[in-house]
Structure 1
Amino acid sequence: MTETDAATPINKVVDGYFAMWNETDPGRRREVIEATWAPDASYVDPLFAADGPDALDAMVAAVHERFPGHRFRLAGAVDVHHDRARWGWELAGPDGGPPVATGVDFAVLTAARRLREVTGFLERPAGAA
């Protein structure tokens, strides 16, 4: 099943996920993390691993240091069934140009539709050799 209506709970969760990645203010980012993720949540991709809100916050801060001014954005529809979801994403430069990285994230959700686990897979950016 695919949920594409922006008013659906899963899209609100995914909106919060991208808000976390794009928020540069540490206080606001922490609020987004607490609203979107379960307290014992975890994230893992080939470059990062984080367990809990403090580690999630530190991970995002590290990405902002490495890619200042870049923004994550949803690429395509969000798919969801049972307690699982997946979505594609892009990391675009400050000028909004072509993505410097793309990937797909897979999530496990709590019963209340908060993120419990996210596993990210990175793909080559468009035009990469």
Structure 2
Amino acid sequence: MPDMNIDAKQVADRYLAQWNEPDAAARSALIREAWTPTAVHVLVNPPEAVRDGAAALAVPAPPLEVHGHDALDARVTRAYEMFVAGGEHVFTVAEEPFVLLPDVIGVRWSMVTADGGEAVGGGLDVLSLDGDGRIRTDHQFIAAA
């Protein structure tokens, strides 16, 4: 049975830290600390280009999934390279994380400009945790700013 005393803010802060970490080794270590080895990250509503490509094939856009530490490392690293590495944006917790069930929390986040903190994107992640507060599943929903 999961620990009902898991600190949702601590989990959310650790989760967001991995997306902003510039050092590849430190980012990988954060992933391995925050996620179980068999964790699954699901991008529920994929980017528009993926949805358009699927529609062109008359196929509903699938959620995109990665499984395990190595795939998570690649996913987080690519997001870092695309959105943070250039120095224009950072990811922040947009509001206090909230407990949905004893082992499930919601984390609303924003991608903000690094120089002024203006939100240019964001979303909601629903994290299912193990008894140690490590992420087992992450269903990510991306929304416009």
Q: Normalising by structure 2, what TM-score?
A: 0.75
- The one-letter code of the counterpart of 2:136 is R
Kindly provide the CA deviation profile for residues 91-129 of structure 1, in whole angstroms up to 9, marking residues without a partner as x. 11232431221111111110111111011111111xxxx
- Offset at 1:73? 0.4
Provide the rounded CA distance (Å) in 1 between the counterparts of 2:28 and 2:80: 15
| 1:49 alignment partner in structure 2 | 65
Q: CA deviation at 1:64?
A: 2.1
1:78 matched to 2:97? The reply is: yes
AA partner of residue 95 (structure 2): G
SS in 2 for 1:38: strand
Q: Report the CA distance between 1:10 and its aligned residue.
A: 2.2
Cα RMSD (Å) of the superposition?
1.5
Find the counterpart in structure 1 of residue 57 from structure 2. Answer: none
- In the superposition, the TM-score normalised over structure 1's length comes to 0.83
Matches within 5 A, 1:33-44: 33-44=31-42
Give the number of aligned pairs.
118
Q: Distance in 1 between matches of 2:33 and 2:116?
A: 27
Residue 98 of structure 1: which of 118, 123, 126 is its match?
118
Which structure exhibits the higher relative contact order, with contacts defined as CA atoms closer than 8 Å and separated by 6 or more residues?
Answer: 2
Q: Please give the alpha-carbon distance, in whole angstroms, between the structure 2 residues aligned to 1:83 and 1:108.
A: 6
Q: Which residue of 1 aligns with 2:74?
A: 58
Q: Which runs of 4+ in 1 moved over 3 A?
A: none
Larger Rg belongs to: 2
Structure 1, unaligned stretches of length 5 or more?
1-7
CA offset digits 1:16-69 (Å, max 9, x no partner): 101111112110011111111111111111335321111111111211222232
Unaligned runs of 5+ in 2: 1-5, 47-63
Distance 2:19 2:30 in 1: 10
Moved more, 18-27 or 38-47: 38-47
Alignment partner, residue 18 of structure 1: 16
